[in-house]
Amino acid sequence: MANNVRPETMERITTPELARAFIAEQLDALRAQIGDKKVLLALSGGVDSSVVAALLIKAVGKQLTCVHVNHGLLRKGEPEQVIRVFRDEMDANLVYVDAVDRFLDKLAGVSEPERKRKIIGAEFIRVFEEEARKLDGIEFLAQGTIYPDILESGPVKAHHNVGGLPEDLQFELVEPLKFLYKDEVRVVGHELGLPDNMVYRQPFPGPGLGVRCVGAITRDRLEAVRESDAILREEFAKNGLEGKVWQYFTIVPDFKSTGIKDGLRTYDWPVVIRAVNTRDAVTATVEDVPFALLQHITARITSEVKGVNRVLFDLTPKPSGTIEWE
Ligand code: XMP
């Protein structure tokens, strides 16, 4: 396991100069490892896979094929941004897979949180496997593994492991970030020219909005999660909270309550706002969001998001609540 321990001599990458040195070193190492062979990468658009993609595009260009699977549980604008940044701006080989119906059909009627996670994880592997089989001559699989994943110190990526590709589809791994901590990955990503909202984005769970559409996922309630999340993010950005608050998002529980709109009675869902700060995701405190801002966000969500008539703010630290609702 010696090659899974960060070398003691490795300096912490905190400056653009150190990031440039790391990038130069990795480009040489990647070219030496890959040669003229082909590499495959599952590109979610998260920080880690995006930085790996940017490095590989620089190192081996079109020998890399990125596969972006849209499982329907991504935030508003994310699939579009992946296509714009990687296909249009970086000229990468990008396979975009619209698997929305496939995932939502599989998830229909499933309310148990761990089963939802398993279905999403397993279906993801299946879609990726199908795409991998369509491509000829792939010898390498790139992954956005970072050092905390190896140390398994935090719960962040630890519990979405649903196994890997089947035996006959085993590739040699390419993991250029495996000795980096998250803050170092961000410095490197910034230096590689990735957009700030990609490099400095808040953590986002693998099962995505699926764990925020509490209980059995329906398309209309999932849209309410996606639209309310977009409003929350926009307002936090406008009001200087982006980059200050560790994680913030909305949840739409699976129940309705009465309300009034345009003089008529409604029976609609509530949206719950969660905004927390933490060091390691093991414990968390609640951000003291200005009340006037919460009122403004409430007004926007109840008027702009279909099927919603109330907004609640989650005051619960972790423990006793987890950060996500399921
Ligand atoms: P909890 O809800 O357990 O979340 O307090 C701690 C951190 O982990 C993220 N999280 C996940 N990340 N797959 C992931 O990749 C998951 O299934 C998952 N569940 C929770 C959560 O967003 C928070 O940052």
Digitized pLDDT (tens) for each residue of the chain, 326 residues in all = 458 999 999 999 999 999 999 999 999 999 999 999 999 999 999 999 999 999 999 999 999 999 999 999 999 999 999 999 999 999 999 999 999 999 999 999 999 999 999 999 999 999 999 999 999 999 999 999 999 999 875 544 444 445 688 888 889 999 999 999 999 999 999 999 999 999 999 999 999 999 999 999 999 999 999 999 999 999 999 999 999 999 999 999 999 999 999 999 999 999 999 999 999 899 999 999 999 999 999 999 999 999 999 999 999 999 999 999 99
- Extract the tokens encoding 127: 């879609």
pLDDT at residue 164, as a whole number: 84
Decide whether any atom of ligand 1 lies within 6 Å of the 182 Cβ.
no
205 C-beta closer than 6 A to ligand 1:
yes
Q: Among the residues of the chain, which ranges form H helices?
A: 16-34, 47-60, 78-82, 100-107, 113-134, 147-151, 182-191, 196-199, 219-238, 291-304
The pTM of the full predicted model, rounded to 2 decimals, is 0.94
CA of 211 to the centre of ligand 1 (A): 9
Nearest-CA residue for ligand 1 atom 17 is 160
The reply to whether ligand 1 has any atom less than 6 angstroms from the CB of 324 is: yes
> Would you state the pLDDT for residue 161?
45
From 117, 274, 323, the mutation candidate for ligand 1 (largest count of ligand atoms within 8 A of CB) is 323
Residue 60: closest CA among 82, 43, 41: 41
Ligand 1 binding pocket mutation candidate from 71, 214, 324 (most atoms within 8 A of CB) = 324
**133 alpha carbon – ligand 1 mean position (Å):** 31
Give CA–CA dist 64/37, Å, rounded. Answer: 9
